[in-house]
């Protein structure tokens, strides 16, 4: 067999999607045959490493790659394969160095590897520092270099860009999703791009972030307790950077309100760029102080109003819940009741009044601050006030990022984009129905989960709306009969699930009808 023919057979084994162990032996046999023909060491070592890596024989593959480096005939791909091995072995320091060497040695200096390099940089910072102090200003600029140098097609480039945006937004779950899509595109179109280890790196990055948050949550109370009860509390806290001081003050509010108030007052004069976060903490302090200043009887009424109000709310007795919250507000004048009253009004679909209460709450309260912002953004989106919704979303994200709060951020971006495309000036355009039918719910509390998966079945969607209205109007027997008829028809999985869902929630719709008459 000629040299080129042998090389072609080895190449086919290397790039085959699915390979069996016997093919590994065959490839090694063919490569050794080339060596007898006098093939150069650089080709032999690199190809042997590729074969061994293909079949997950990691230690031996690394031996051949290191042999290239030690003997001075390494090339760009040598370092790229070493980088992949280092990722598999969780050796992130060497992975960063090897990937950097790969970029330096690549003949075309504009090779694009900023995404994995930044992921590695974040991982290394997490390993070297506490999550509270590791920097948040990693930003990768979008680039068209991948497209310019024909590594990827346009669709793959767009997906790569979405991966960069996800990383810049600290959305590690989305990052993994986009890289999975990119990996599928690359595999399907047989492009010469190795995305697999970038996806693995993203998974490891998410694990590192989760581990770091867990360590902080486990150790945070001990750290704060030591700072609070230390004789040099103020000095120790002042020695921290501004963001760390804000986090400590936030956790101190419940344990030592006066110290937290004093430290925040001092910090508010220095932290000019953190005014939104300082206002948030002032609200939390005011809310805590408002509770502490209540008399014994007022505290009892406060507790009863919230407990009973929640019970009635979860039983869908909205009118009774409203009465409890309104009474709590009247007796205590505590800001928390503005939030709860706003929530009831929102459920009654009286969004203009709900907006007023949520607005009052975020000016005075802190405990439900993020949830109040969530409702405000939902109302603004419903009213097609896109800029205002984005502004609220940005404020929410700022608070979450500063204080490392575990809170599911409102996902308004996709909904906003779709509204703009649909034509936000269209007076007949119903944002609520559009969000439900396109599975773009802002929150389970805001939009029903029904119709998920049946958005194309317009007739059934209309039918289900009619059934709900029948329940609300007290025409229960007719609604039940229609449900039975629909279930007897030959419907698909999602259709049946949604019909059954309406039947399960019929008491909710009946109560909604009663409450709307009472309110």
Are 366 and 347 within 8 A, CB to CB?
Answer: no
Quick one: pLDDT at residue 57? 83
Q: Quick check: is 296 in a domain? A: no
- Res. 285 pLDDT band, cuts 50 70 90: very high
Q: What is the predicted pLDDT for the residue at 282?
A: 92
**For residue 519, is pLDDT > 60?**
no
Of residues 196 and 381, more confidently modeled: 381
> Which residue has better confidence, 22 or 481?
481
133 falls within a domain:
yes
Give the mean pLDDT of 405-432: 57
Q: What is the pLDDT of residue 94?
A: 86
State pTM to two decimals.
0.45
Q: State the Cα–Cα distance between residues 228 and 92, nearest whole angstrom.
A: 37
- pLDDT band for 355, please (50, 70, 90 cuts): very high
The tokens describing 19, both together, are 């390979």
Domain-ending residue, one of 177, 210, 243? 210
pLDDT of 453 reads 47
Average pLDDT over residues 402-415: 59
Average pLDDT of 296-304? 89
Q: What is the pLDDT of residue 488?
A: 80
**DSSP sequence for 468-519:** HHHHHTT-HHHHHHHHHHHHHS---HHHHHHHHHHHHTHHHHHHHHHHHHH-
The answer as to whether 40 is a domain residue is: yes
Mean pLDDT: which of 83-97, 110-124, 282-296, 304-318 is highest?
282-296
Per mean pLDDT, which of 66-80, 379-393, 413-427 is the most reliable?
A: 66-80
Higher pLDDT, 69 or 403: 69
Q: Is residue 307 part of a domain?
A: no
Burial of 37 (0-12, 13-18, 19+ CB in 10 A): exposed
Can you give the pLDDT at residue 502?
80
| Reported confidence tier of residue 60, pLDDT bands at 50, 70, 90 | confident
Q: Any idea what the Cα angle at residue 371 is, between residues 367 and 373, rounded to 5°?
A: 110
- Domain boundary among the residues 210, 229, 263 is at 210
The answer, yes or no, to whether residue 178 has pLDDT greater than 60, is yes
- The string of DSSP letters for 64-88 reads HHHHHHHTT---HHHHHHHHHHHHH
> Comparing 295-299, 321-325, 496-500, which segment has the lowest mean pLDDT?
496-500
Q: For residues 205 and 331, what is the distance between their CA atoms, to the nearest angstrom?
A: 50
Predicted local confidence at residue 338, as pLDDT: 94
Count the domains in the chain.
2
Q: Is the pLDDT of residue 349 over 70?
A: yes
- Percent of the chain at pLDDT > 70 equals 74
Sequence-separated (6 or more) residues with CB below 8 Å from residue 280: 366, 369, 399
Average pLDDT over residues 218-224: 51
Q: Residue 54 maps to which CATH number?
A: 1.25.40
Mean predicted confidence (pLDDT) in 5-18: 77
Model pLDDT, residue 325: 92
Q: Residue 124 belongs to what domain range? A: 3-210
Judge whether 479 lies within some domain: yes
Instruction: Examine residue 456 and state whether it is found in any structural domain, yes or no.
Output: yes
In a domain, 368, yes or no: no
- pLDDT tens per residue, range 73-132: 888 888 888 888 888 888 888 888 888 888 777 765 566 788 888 888 888 887 776 665
Where does the pLDDT of residue 430 fall: very low under 50, low under 70, confident under 90, or very high at 90 and above? Answer: low
For 181-215, b/e burial (b = at least 16 CB within 10 A) is: bbbebbeeeebebebebbbebbebbeebbeebeee
Average pLDDT, the chain: 76
Query: Is there a domain that residue 184 lies in?
Result: yes
Instruction: Note whether 467 and 479 are within 8 A (CB).
Output: yes
| Residue that is last in its domain, among 210, 234, 266 | 210
Q: Which residue has the higher pLDDT, 208 or 305?
A: 305
Which of the four pLDDT bands, split at 50, 70 and 90, describes residue 342?
Answer: very high
**pLDDT band at 472, cuts 50/70/90?**
confident
Which residue did the predictor score with more confidence, 99 or 225? Answer: 99
């Amino acid at each position: 067999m000629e040299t080129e023919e042998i090389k072609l057979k080895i190449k086919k084994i290397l790039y085959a999607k699915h390979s069996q162990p016997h093919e590994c032996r065959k490839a090694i046999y063919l490569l050794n045959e080339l060596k007898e023909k006098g093939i150069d060491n650089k080709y032999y070592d690199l190809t042997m490493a590729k074969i061994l890596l293909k079949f997950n024989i990691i230690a031996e593959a690394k031996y051949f790659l290191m042999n290239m480096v030690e003997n001075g005939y390494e090339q760009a791909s040598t370092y790229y394969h070493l980088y992949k091995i280092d990722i598999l072995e969780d050796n992130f320091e060497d992975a960063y160095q090897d990937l950097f060497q790969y970029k330096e040695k690549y003949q075309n200096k504009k090779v694009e590897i900023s995404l994995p390099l930044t992921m590695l940089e974040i991982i290394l910072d997490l390993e070297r520092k506490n999550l509270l102090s590791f920097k948040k200003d990693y930003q990768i600029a979008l680039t068209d270099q991948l497209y310019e140098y024909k590594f990827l097609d346009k669709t793959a480039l767009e997906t790569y860009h979405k991966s960069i945006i996800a990383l810049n937004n600290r959305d590690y779950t989305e990052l993994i999703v986009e890289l999975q899509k990119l990996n599928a595109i690359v595999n399907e179109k047989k492009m010469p791009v190795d995305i697999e280890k970038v996806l693995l790196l993203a998974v490891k990055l998410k694990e590192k972030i989760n581990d770091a948050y867990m360590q902080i949550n486990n150790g945070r109370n001990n750290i704060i307790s030591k700072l609070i009860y230390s004789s040099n509390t103020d000095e120790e806290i002042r020695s921290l950077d501004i963001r760390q001081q804000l986090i400590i003050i936030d956790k101190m509010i419940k344990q030592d309100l006066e110290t937290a108030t004093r430290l925040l007052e001092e910090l508010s004069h220095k932290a000019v760029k953190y005014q939104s976060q300082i206002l948030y903490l002032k609200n939390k302090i005011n809310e805590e102080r408002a509770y502490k200043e209540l008399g014994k009887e007022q505290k009892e009424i406060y507790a009863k109003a919230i407990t009973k109000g929640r019970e009635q709310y979860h039983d869908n007795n909205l009118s009774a819940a409203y009465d409890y919250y309104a009474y709590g507000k009247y007796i205590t004048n505590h800001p928390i009741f503005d939030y709860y009253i706003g929530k009831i009004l929102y459920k009654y679909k009286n969004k203009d009044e709900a907006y007023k209460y949520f607005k009052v709450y975020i000016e005075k309260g802190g405990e439900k601050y993020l949830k109040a912002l969530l409702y405000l953004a939902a109302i603004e989106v419903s009213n097609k006030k896109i800029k205002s919704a984005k502004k609220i979303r940005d404020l929410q994200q700022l608070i979450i990022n500063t204080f490392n709060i575990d809170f599911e951020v409102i996902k308004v971006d996709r909904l906003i984009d779709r509204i703009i495309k649909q034509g936000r000036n269209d007076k007949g355009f119903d944002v609520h129905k559009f969000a439900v039918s396109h599975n773009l719910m802002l929150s389970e509390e805001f939009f029903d989960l029904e119709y998920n998966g049946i958005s194309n079945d317009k007739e059934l969607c209309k039918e289900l709306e009619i059934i709900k209205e029948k329940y609300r109007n007290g025409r229960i027997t007719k609604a039940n009969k229609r449900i039975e008829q629909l279930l007897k028809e030959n419907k698909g999985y999602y259709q049946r699930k949604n019909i059954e869902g309406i039947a399960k929630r019929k008491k909710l719709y009946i109560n909604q009808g009663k409450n709307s008459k009472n309110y």
